[in-house]
Amino acid sequence: MAIWFITGCSTGFGHETALAALARGDKVIATARNTDDINDLADKGALVIALDLSWPEEKIQEAVNVAMEPFGSVDILFNNAGVNMVGSLEEVSSKEARAMFDVNFWGHISVTHAILPHMRAQKHGTIAFNGSMLGWTGMGCVSTYTATKWAIAGLAHCLKEEVKGFGITVTVIEPGFFRTQAFGAAKQLFPAQGMEGYKVAMEPLRTLVGTVHGRQAGDPVKAARVIVEALTGEGAFEGKEVPARLVLGADAVGMVEGVLNGQKRSLEEWKSVSVSTDFTVAE
């Protein structure tokens, strides 16, 4: 039996992963900004707490510490909560950009800061971050959101090396388009102040959001089962080390394959120029 701490459990991956962990017989601390949104998880035995990753770090850590008291520690931390916004860099205000980083990056750091000392003391644990296939590439008019996902992937890679000596595993889960509420009507997906100059560039994305929502190929229930297996070392992951980057969804796999192939071609094309910048033996 594992003890989980999962952020952003009101919908999507957080909610489905909490359900899958509870079905496995695990203990789950489930968080959401509004606990009324996760009453069903409480009914199934989860300990639910209010947690907003935009809170100051001290308040986040206080909430985490209070939630952990009944259990003493946590075996698996799933930093899942996130917000998104579709807009060009010029359209997204500094306030909106900082708000995204507060949740998608700094909030994860605050929660991890609170739980990591307990994992070090017990000499085991698993930390997962919810990234995105966009953490591999760039796409116009989602620059700020994409930057948060690149940042979290870089953080996860470094943290993995820092804590492996304590028996702690770190991974970043990078899904493609899944049938969650990420594009839901309740979300503020677009900047408060759009710009006429980017109207043409934004139109395909506005169309995509309107047509894709509810039709995404990815099944969050199936994804949650894989996430639980990956973070508990069961199923396909039994006896194997969880990958540093766990890509989910056929669309994500296709995108990553294309990126890697393109990067390899570019590296080979410019290799002679790149290596020409070193000192020569004579120097």
* Residues annotated catalytic, as ranges: 145
Backbone angles phi, psi at 35, to 5 degrees: -65, -20
DSSP for 163-232, written as a single string: HGGGTEEEEEEEE-SBSSSTT-TTS--S-SS--GGGHHHHHHHHHHHHHHTTT-SB-HHHHHHHHHHHHH
Edge-to-edge order in the sheet of strand 245-248: 47-50, 27-32, 3-6, 76-79, 125-130, 168-175, 245-248
Backbone angles phi, psi at 180, to 5 degrees: -110, -170
Pairing of strands 3-6, 27-32: parallel
Token readout for 218 is: 């990815």
Q: How far apart are the first and last CA of the chain?
A: 61
Q: Report whether 256 contacts 247 (CB < 8 A).
A: yes
* CA–CA separation, 127 and 165 (whole Å): 14
Token readout for 30 is: 């489930």
